[in-house]
């Protein structure tokens, strides 16, 4: 079973192979302000091992490597990883690039201090969400941190990534993680999506995977 929705699978290779990065709607030219703050504030400490799932062109992976992190960038698109490797050479840092599905990443258990997800989870098929969460859980050390951003249910309606409710996040991740932060933020508008509302959440790995009683209350 692939982690990603059919819509996304049908578009992956074509977008990265045929379009300039500036013309790909989800490609950013810098790490996000949220990710900067986690490193600047020491929440992600120097020397941390980071697995960047759905890394795309590797912008945040490369930034983390420049901040003395040991980084693995994971993506299902070989074209994206090829471009990421070229960008890595420009910055003169080391990232290990891995072509893999998000639910079957060939890395050791408990390897990572941080699993980073910048706008990938909203492309995970509903039936694959638990497998994705368990994959992140497996990769993280006890008390490791999952950093996740994604489309919220307040986004402009349309095709593409799924719109996520707070319950979607809580129900998926609470069996293996405790939520340290969950908030919405507004991103830069685009022509197709003039009102971009996204989730920013931090999840701390529990000692063991076990069913909890998630909240049924959605944020406003």
Distances (CA, A) of 167 to 3, 57, 134, 174, 216: 19, 30, 17, 10, 6
Q: Identify which has the larger pLDDT, 106 or 14.
A: 106
In whole angstroms, give the CA distance from residue 53 to residue 75.
Answer: 6
Express as a percent the part of the chain with pLDDT over 70. Answer: 83
Q: Is the pLDDT of residue 16 over 90?
A: no
Please state which of the ranges 18-22, 27-31, 52-56, 65-69 shows the lowest mean pLDDT: 18-22
What local confidence, expressed as pLDDT, does residue 215 receive? Answer: 47
What local confidence, expressed as pLDDT, does residue 27 receive? Answer: 61
* CB of 32 closer than 8 Å to CB of 56: no
Q: Is the pLDDT of residue 193 over 80?
A: no
Q: Is the pLDDT of residue 141 over 50?
A: yes
pLDDT digits (tens, 9 = 90+) for 100-140: 999 999 999 999 999 999 999 999 999 999 999 999 999 99
Q: What pTM was computed for the model?
A: 0.87
* CB of 199 closer than 8 Å to CB of 164: yes
């Amino acid at each position: 079973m692939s982690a990603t929705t059919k819509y996304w699978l049908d578009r992956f290779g074509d977008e990265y192979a045929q379009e300039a990065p500036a013309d790909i709607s989800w490609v950013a030219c810098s790490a996000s302000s949220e990710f900067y703050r986690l490193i600047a504030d020491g929440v992600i400490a120097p020397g941390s091992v980071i697995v960047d799932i759905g890394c795309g062109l590797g912008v945040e992976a490369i930034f983390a490597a420049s901040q003395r992190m040991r980084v693995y960038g994971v993506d299902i698109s070989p074209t994206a990883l090829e471009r990421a490797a070229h960008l890595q050479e420009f910055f003169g840092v080391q990232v290990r690039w891995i072509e893999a599905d998000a639910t079957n990443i060939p890395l050791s258990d408990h390897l990572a201090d941080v699993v980073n997800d910048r706008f990938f989870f909203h492309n995970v098929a509903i039936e694959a969400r638990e497998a994705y969460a368990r994959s992140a859980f497996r990769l993280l050390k006890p008390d490791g941190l999952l950093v996740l951003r994604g489309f919220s249910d307040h986004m402009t309606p349309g095709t593409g990534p799924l719109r996520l409710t707070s319950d979607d996040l809580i129900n998926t991740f609470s069996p293996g993680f405790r939520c340290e932060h969950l908030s919405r933020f507004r991103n830069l508008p685009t022509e197709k999506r003039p009102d971009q509302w996204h989730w920013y959440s931090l999840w701390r790995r529990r000692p063991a995977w076990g069913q909890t009683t998630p909240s049924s209350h959605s944020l406003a």
